[in-house]
Amino acid sequence: MGKEPVRIKERDSQVRSGDFEEVVLGFSEEQALEEASRCIQCKDPKCVTGCPVGIDIKTFIGQITRKDYDGAYATIRAKSNFPSICGRVCPAEYQCRKACVFTKKNEPFASEKAINIHFLERFVGDHGARQGGRLAGPARSAGTPQQKVAVIGSGPAGLCCAGELAREGVRVVIFEALHKTGGVLRYGIPPFRLPRTILDAEIDQLQNLGVEIRTNTIVGKAKLIEELFAEGFSAVFLGLGAGTPSFLNIPGENLCNVYSANEFLTRVNLMSAHTFPQNHTPINVGEHIVVIGGGNTAMDAARVAIRLQKMRGIRLDTTISYRRTEVEMPARRLEIEHAKEEGVKFEFLVKPEAFTGDEKGFLKKLRSSRCALGEPDASGRRRPVVIPGSSFEVPCDTAIVAVGLGANKVLTSATPGLLTDKYGDVIVDSQTMETSIKGVFAGGDIVGGEGTVIEAMGMAKKAAAAILRYLARQAV
C-alpha cells in the first residue's frame, strides 16, 4: 500500500477563525523528507504534464530526498519565479496531484494518497527565500539595452511575464493601476492563505532583477498603448486580469449590504477594512451572512466574513449557498475543509431568486428555491434544475455574490484595433498569445480561462517566449 501521506500542520480552527494569520504552517524538514520519500520517481512522470508551467516535479522531489534543497530550488525556479506563492495557492488537486500515479483515472480530483507536491514546493520556496532568493541562474543577455517591454498589470500573469523577460536581459516596466502590487494575489486572496511577507518577498526578487514597477497608473486612462510604443517600448504584455464582477440579475441586488465578492475582499485584503477605524475603509457585517457561489473566491469571502463576525463579537452565522453539490464545487478541497472547520455552513442545491429589504433599503432576507441535478451542461457538470414549489426564505442581512468575474474594459475600449470576444476577453493567437495588434501580447484572466494563478502564469510564460522571439526579429 505504500507510506501514508504526511499531514500538514495547521493552526487550531477555533483560534485561527478570529484572526488573519496564516492557517497552514507548512512542512518541517523532517516532514518534507518523509513526504518526498513517498514519490516512486516514475519513469514517465505524469505530474509534470499536470503543471501549467512544466516544473520538473520528479527532479525537485528527488533532490529533496537527498537534502539538496538549493538544487530543488534551482529546479523549480527554472520554470517558476514564485514557488512560495504557488505552493500556497495552486489548485494542485486539479492539476499536478490529480495527474499523480496515486490518483485513479476517474476520480474528480486528486486522491488523498497523491504526493503533496504543492506543500513540497512551498517548503523549497520558503527555503530559497530564507537564503535570500538566489536565482536559478544569472540573467542572460538576449535583449539589448534599447529593448524594453511594458507589462500592464502586476497580477500573476504580469509578474510572471516580467520575470521571464527580465531573466533574459530585457528591460521591463510594470504599470499597475492600484497603489500596491500583486493584483488578485493581494486584493483577492486573504493573508491567512497568502501572507503579505511572502508575496512582497517574491515581488522584491523581480525588482532585484531590474524590473521597474509604476503604481497608480491606469493604462487606458493615464496612458494609451500607442503612447507606450511612442515612448520606446518594443512590445506590450496585457496582464489585466478580470476585475469586473458578475451578478445574479435577480430582484433586490441593489440593496445595501449586497456585495460583490470582488469589492468585499478588496476592502479587507487590500484596504484593511477589518481594522476599521484604525484604517479608514469601513465594511458592514451582519448577523446572517450568505455567500453565493462555489469557487475559491466564495470560500475566501466566507472565511473572511466569519472572521469579521468573530472579531466583532457577532454570533457566527455565515453560509455558502451553492446550486450544485459539494462534488461539483470548483473550489480547492483544502479550502472547503478549512471553511467547514472554521464554522462556515453549506447549503447545497439552492438557487437564489430574490433579495428583500426594509423600508430604508437594507437587505433583510434571501428567497431561494431547491434544485435537483439534471443533464450535464457545457462545463460537463450536471445542470441544476429548480424544483417547482420549493421556494423558501432565510434571514440575510449581508450577501456576498461570488459567481465569477468578467473582463475590465477600461483599456480594451480605449484601444482601437484590439479585438475582443462577446465576453470582452482579449482574443489572442493560442500559440504566441499575440493579440490583433502587432507587438501586443496578453495572458491570464483577460483572455479567459479557469482563473487560477498557475494557469495565468502558464499563459504568461508562453507569451514571454513569443515576445523574446519578436524582440529578436525587431533587433535584426
pLDDT one-digit tens code per residue, 389-435: 999 999 999 999 999 999 889 999 999 999 999 999 999 999 999 99
What distance lies between CA 308 and its chain's CA centroid? 22
Q: Residue 419, Cβ neighbours under 10 Å: how many?
A: 12
**Amino acid identity, residue 392?**
F
What distance lies between CA 137 and its chain's CA centroid? 27
End-to-end CA distance of the chain: give it in Å, rounded: 59
Show the cell assigned to 35. 513526504
Q: What is the pLDDT of residue 144?
A: 52
Q: What is the pLDDT of residue 143?
A: 47
Number of structural domains the chain divides into:
3
Q: Are residues 211 and 301 in the same domain?
A: no
Q: Are residues 174 and 289 in the same domain?
A: no
Q: What is the pLDDT of residue 54?
A: 94
Looking at the domain assignment, is residue 4 inside a domain?
Answer: no
Report CA-CA distances (Å) from 414 to 149, 220, 409, 411, 448. Answer: 20, 6, 8, 5, 20
Strands in 235-238's sheet, in edge-to-edge order, are: 212-214, 171-175, 148-152, 235-238, 440-442
Q: Are residues 418 and 462 in the same domain?
A: yes
What single DSSP character describes residue 140? P
Q: What are phi and psi of 74, to 5 degrees?
A: -65, -40
CATH (domain of 165):
3.50.50.60
Q: Are residues 369 and 271 in the same domain?
A: yes
Q: Are residues 308 and 382 in the same domain?
A: yes
What single DSSP character describes residue 217? -
Q: Are residues 256 and 169 in the same domain?
A: no
Show the cell assigned to 271. 484596504
Q: Are residues 309 and 249 in the same domain?
A: yes
Which residue ranges in the chain fall short of pLDDT 50?
1, 135-138, 142-143
CATH (domain of 33):
1.10.1060.10
Q: What is the pLDDT of residue 451?
A: 77
User: CA–CA separation, 320 vs 8, rounded Å?
Assistant: 25
Do residues 170 and 148 lie in contact, with contact meaning Cβ atoms separated by under 8 Å?
Answer: yes
Q: Are residues 118 and 39 in the same domain?
A: yes
Chosen domain end from 130, 156, 189: 130
Kindly calculate the radius of gyration of the chain based on its CA atoms and give it in whole angstroms. 23
Q: Are residues 335 and 190 in the same domain?
A: no
Looking at the domain assignment, is residue 8 inside a domain?
Answer: no
Do residues 268 and 309 lie in contact, with contact meaning Cβ atoms separated by under 8 Å?
Answer: no
Nearest to 209 by CA among 164, 178, 175: 164
Q: Are residues 249 and 339 in the same domain?
A: yes
Which tens digits make up the pLDDT trace of 343-389?
Answer: 999 999 999 999 999 999 999 999 999 999 999 888 788 899 999 99
Q: What's this model's pTM, rounded to 2 decimal places?
A: 0.94
Q: Which residues contact 227 (CB under 8 A, 6 or more apart)?
A: none
Do residues 341 and 15 lie in contact, with contact meaning Cβ atoms separated by under 8 Å?
Answer: no
Q: What is the pLDDT of residue 1?
A: 45
Chosen domain end from 383, 404, 425: 404
User: CA–CA separation, 207 vs 421, rounded Å?
Assistant: 34
Q: Which domain holds residue 58?
A: 13-130
**Amino acid identity, residue 225?**
I
Q: Are residues 90 and 121 in the same domain?
A: yes
Q: What is the pLDDT of residue 145?
A: 55
